[in-house]
């Protein structure tokens, strides 16, 4: 079956409007050149992708909504969308992060579902954007709650010869993998900045994976062990710890002995892109502190304390290595 029989051709893409140094508006440049010259320069988008700076107009009449924006903006975006979307719309979140509210942690797919009253799947994986943009082979995982048919529709939409997508019934497990690996990547970046070598980095990744699994299962006992072996789990952890932005900024932080803040490094090194790991480390720490779980997660706690300057970068090995007992 051709895609055109099933999916509408035009993809409306909401763009957070920015005025470029040339004085032009980003959305107008995207529509004129088919290229996002600020965030993905050199890559031609399909001509069917239409940038729209008006959020309400971008979602009007849409029955499939793809959410992909830094997680810190999602609460405000959802607030603006209340009452503006179709009742039968289906959502999918590609966003790696969580919100922490008074009632406890809230995953972004849950935020979408609760605020907008629609079902939301997630798509996570070892997916560094500029590699996918040049069509290098990668895999991804769709996480769904109940409806396998909806998950299969998303798989069919995203799947290509170079982007292989599979679905698992574990929305929380998939989303927590994507969210928590960013904290581990900060730890891996510290190891790189301190030039501690590959064995140490692998150890931090292993300890991090163990904490990812334990934290996910404590929060949601339904999370499956097998999810950690999907692209969203171990594969995303590896790619982010090797080539991601979280790793890169954490490396610079450690090289500077923690003297330059992450905010400063993010602005200088990422040119408008956003780090997810530092805020996620804080959010995870709040959950651990609130629930009395700090002792169980030495790596997660240490990453946060280093990020806020309470511990030096070298604490990443001194504090993360003791073995908590999860049973
Ligand atoms: P980014 O980190 O490059 O941030 C820039 C984006 O944020 C731009 O699209 C910009 O328009 C938007 N933005 C800036 N200010 C905003 C505001 N006030 N409100 C709304 N949007 C605003 O973004 P990204 O890399 O596309 O990441 C989005 C999500 O996708 C994140 O959760 C990230 O973890 C996830 N993700 C990213 C990659 C990657 O390689 N870039 C891979 C997989 C998943
Ligand atoms: P960074 O945000 O660290 O670049 O990670 C991107 C990612 O999530 C790759 O799957």
Pocket test for ligand 2, best of 244, 251, 252, 278 (most atoms within 8 A of CB): 244
**DSSP codes of every residue in 36-83:** -TTTSTT-PPPTTEEEES-HHHHHTT-SEEEE-S-GGGHHHHHHHHTT
Token pair 């610079």: residue: 252
Q: How confident is the model at residue 1, as a pLDDT?
A: 45
Q: Which atom of ligand 2 is nearest to the CA of 248?
A: 3
Please name which of 222, 215, 296, 280 lies closest in space to residue 246, comparing C-alpha atoms.
280
Cα 126 to averaged position of ligand 2 atoms, centre (Å)? 8
List Cβ neighbours of 150 (8 Å cut-off, separation of 6 or more).
90, 119, 121, 144
Cα 273 to averaged position of ligand 1 atoms, centre (Å)? 6
Token pair 């904290």: residue: 183
Cα 16 to averaged position of ligand 1 atoms, centre (Å)? 10
Ligand with an atom nearest the CA of residue 16: 1
Question: Token pair for residue 232?
Answer: 């969203």
With residue 98 as reference, give the H or E element that holds it: strand 98-101
Whole-angstrom Cα Rg for the chain? 20
**DSSP codes of every residue in 177-204:** HHHHHHHHHHHHHHHHHTT--HHHHHHH
Per-residue pLDDT tens, the chain, 327 aa: give them. Answer: 445 558 889 999 999 999 999 999 999 999 999 999 999 999 999 999 999 999 999 999 999 999 999 999 999 999 999 999 999 999 999 999 999 987 789 999 999 999 999 999 999 999 999 999 999 999 999 999 999 999 999 999 999 999 999 999 999 999 999 999 999 999 999 999 999 999 999 999 999 999 999 999 999 999 999 999 999 999 999 999 999 999 999 999 999 999 999 999 999 999 999 999 999 999 999 999 999 999 999 999 999 999 999 999 999 998 876 667 676
Token pair 């609460």: residue: 75
Q: How confident is the model at residue 103, as a pLDDT?
A: 78
- CA distances in angstroms from 296 to 1, 175, 282, 308, 323, listed in the order given: 50, 21, 16, 20, 8
Q: Are 125 and 140 in contact (CB under 8 A)?
A: yes
Alpha-carbon gap, residue 103 to 111, rounded angstroms: 13
Token pair 């806020």: residue: 308
């Amino acid at each position: 079956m051709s895609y055109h029989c099933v999916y509408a051709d035009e993809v409306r893409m909401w763009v957070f409007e920015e005025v470029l140094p040339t004085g032009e508006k980003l959305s107008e440049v995207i529509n004129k050149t088919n290229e996002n010259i600020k965030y993905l320069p050199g890559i031609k988008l399909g001509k069917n992708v239409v940038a729209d700076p008006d959020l309400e107009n971008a979602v009007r009449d849409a029955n499939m909504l793809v959410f992909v924006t830094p997680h810190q903006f999602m609460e405000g975006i959802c607030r603006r969308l209340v009452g503006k979307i179709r009742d039968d719309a289906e959502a999918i979140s590609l966003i790696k992060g969580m919100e922490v509210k008074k009632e406890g942690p809230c995953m972004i797919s849950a935020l979408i579902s609760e605020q907008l009253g629609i079902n939301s799947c997630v798509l996570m994986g070892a997916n560094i954007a500029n590699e996918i943009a040049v069509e290098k082979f990668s895999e991804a995982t769709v996480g769904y709650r109940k409806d396998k048919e909806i998950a299969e529709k998303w798989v069919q939409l995203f799947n290509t010869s170079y982007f292989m997508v599979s679905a698992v019934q574990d929305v929380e497990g998939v989303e927590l993998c994507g969210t928590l690996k960013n904290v581990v990547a900060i730890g891996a970046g510290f190891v790189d900045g301190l030039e501690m070598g590959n064995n140490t980095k692998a150890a931090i990744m292993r300890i991090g994976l163990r904490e990812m699994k334990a934290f996910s299962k404590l929060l949601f006992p339904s999370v499956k062990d097998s999810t950690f072996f999907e692209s969203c789990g171990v594969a995303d952890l590896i790619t982010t710890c090797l080539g991601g932005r979280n790793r890169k900024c954490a490396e610079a932080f450690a090289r500077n002995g923690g003297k330059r803040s992450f905010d400063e490094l993010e602005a200088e090194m990422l040119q408008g892109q956003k780090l997810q790991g530092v805020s996620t480390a804080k959010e995870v720490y709040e959950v651990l502190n609130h629930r009395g779980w700090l002792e169980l997660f030495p790596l997660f706690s240490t990453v946060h304390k280093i990020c806020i300057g309470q511990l030096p970068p070298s604490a990443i090995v001194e504090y993360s290595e003791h073995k908590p007992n999860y049973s």
